[in-house]
Chain A
């Protein structure tokens, strides 16, 4: 009789135990790979907060600082880029496009970004995804605003709603730009990036709401109405930072050093990926924590799996003794036990991977909307190695009772009274 068919028949006899063992293995694999995917996807998602942008340019500070205030809206710029320098950068022949970013205002705790409509074309995230509109469209009127998904969901805004921006970044007694209300022209789809928690308006709009302000206060007697502001010169004097796209990536390092050496104003150009890498390095403890969780899940999952497998194989002791008594060699008994634990492990692994894929497919949008986490269905790079480890451990689990059966004297088998 073929060993495999014997194993399968024996397993059919123990359906409940087999199902439970496969389920335990599946759960272990699910947890193990799940945590690993969250870990790698969190890092990848972070590393691709900005993609498709060749250079990020701001006033000279540090790469991480620049990244924090311009992309992550954390902290504030110490200096701005003058409009003239911005024009010089735009005029460089290698530069294909620029997206200006002007920060400093807020709305109910959400940052306002002054930019232009190229933002919706050129700001990419993840693997080259452009911003998508859940509803509405980019700003067309001076007092139009586009809100991120989190702003929309938390404040329950929709296209057509009127909002008033605040000067500065928070606090209840903040000066508002109540005289120049904005209309929500569009709501962006969730991206898992800081864009979700921001409001985009045109650079001119930022200029317009500050046209009668000076040194942070509204000048008495010089008020300009929303209508009047439309007819004034709304060319910005400065912006906070700019995203730069190049015709050819080959010129990236040369343009970077040209901007860094720009003599009229101390500027800083960074490669976004490099700066993101540095920042991730700083916040990398989060990843280390996940790694620890991963390791614990591995430990607990594998222990559970081994316990289930050993329990299952213990049930076959009597069977093994019988086979041994009718002439099966110790090697055959060993092979049978290892075959069973391998079969159970493989079945559990397949079930676990299917379970994980199904879960990520179902939870993808939920995770993106609630946690800003983009969980890919693509296997994480280390996954194959983990699966090999699981398989090896599973097969090894069969070796333990196999070894016991090997050691046990045959007399045991001839007097089986289990």
Chain B
């Protein structure tokens, strides 16, 4: 939590230096593709997932019907309980916090006209040495997701692993 606070402060520092605070860079937004960033430092593990609204709920506009609203609520609930993210039991990790933020489903149009679900999780692991792999089952939680790009940063360095189809295993080199 401390880390994310300081990130926030540096973000503020950087944005305060910007003349146009409104400016926003558009990140990549590929339908069918979700991204998961995992960073591990000692016993702490941060996980950030981003998934196009199209794949989470099937539309990218403010919900216009009770059915659409229910879909958004269901997606938020699914992301809040990250059963799609499986940590080896031997690592004894506990989910310390989870935060889901939908973008583009509010009133004002987002830049780029897209809508996403972003979710961040923080885990604490008692035996991080056992953290040799992860199971990322985002594609089965949201069947419209075709590909999950996982970025991983650990003491051994960083790497990217793309999960296609039925693969869910992400190897971790400690």
Contact = CB atoms under 8 A, between A and B. Distances in A.
A and B touch in the complex (CB under 8 A): yes
Interface of A: 47-48, 51-52, 54, 88, 91-94, 248-255, 257-258, 260-264, 271-274, 277-278
B4 interface: yes
A151 B38 CA distance: 39
Contacts of A273: 153, 157-160
B78 to A, nearest CB: 22
Nearest to A127: B156
Given A47-B157, A93-B6, A271-B153, A250 B14 contact: no
Nearest to B44: A250
B11 interface: yes
Contacts of B67: none
Interface stretch (B15-23, B55-63, B84-92, B99-107): B15-23
Interface in B1-56: 3-4, 6-7, 9-11, 13-15, 17-20, 23-25, 27, 37, 39-41, 44-46, 48
B146 interface: no
B144 interface: no
B155 to A, nearest CB: 7
B13 A271 contact: no
11 contacts: A54-B153, A88-B13, A92-B13, A92-B14, A94-B7, A248-B41, A254-B3, A261-B25, A263-B14, A271-B151, A272-B158
A40 B48 CA distance: 31
Contact of A51 (B13, B17, B45, B157): B157
B3, B15, B40, B157 interface centre (most CB from chain A within 10 Å): B157
A300 to B, nearest CB: 32
B80 interface: no
B17 A255 contact: no
Given A248-B3, A261-B25, A262-B14, 11 more contacts: A47-B157, A51-B157, A91-B13, A93-B10, A250-B46, A251-B4, A251-B39, A263-B19, A264-B18, A271-B153, A277-B160
B130 interface: no
Interface in B83-122: none
Contact of A263 (B15, B27, B151): B15
Contact of B159 (A257, A262, A274): A274
A277 B24 CA distance: 28
B154 A264 contact: no
Counting chain B residues whose Cβ lies within 8 A of the other chain, the interface size class is: 35 or more
B128 to A, nearest CB: 12
Contacts of B39: 249-253
The dominant DSSP class at the B interface is: mixed
A251 B21 CA distance: 22
A269 to B, nearest CB: 12
B136 to A, nearest CB: 16
The dominant DSSP class at the A interface is helix
A47 B14 CA distance: 31
Nearest to A63: B160
Contacts of B157: 47-48, 51-52, 272-273
Contacts of A88: 13-14, 17
Contacts of B27: 257
B12 to A, nearest CB: 10
Contacts of A48: 157
Contacts of B18: 263-264
B48 A253 contact: yes
A274 B48 CA distance: 17
B6 A249 contact: no
Contact of B10 (A52, A92, A250): A92
Contacts of A51: 156-157
Contact of B3 (A52, A251, A278): A251
Contacts of B40: 249
**Listed residue (B4, B13, B24, B158) with the most chain A CB atoms within 10 angstroms of its CB:** B158
B132 to A, nearest CB: 13
A335 B149 CA distance: 52
Nearest to B157: A273
Given A260-B25, A277-B160, A251 B7 contact: yes
A261 to B, nearest CB: 5
Contact of B17 (A52, A54, A264): A264
Nearest to B6: A93
B20 A263 contact: yes
B58 to A, nearest CB: 27
Contacts of B20: 263
A93 B9 contact: yes
Contacts of A253: 37, 39, 46, 48, 151, 153
Contact of A250 (B11, B19, B41, B151): B41
Contact of A258 (B11, B46, B155): B11
Contacts of A251: 3-4, 6-7, 39
Nearest to A257: B27
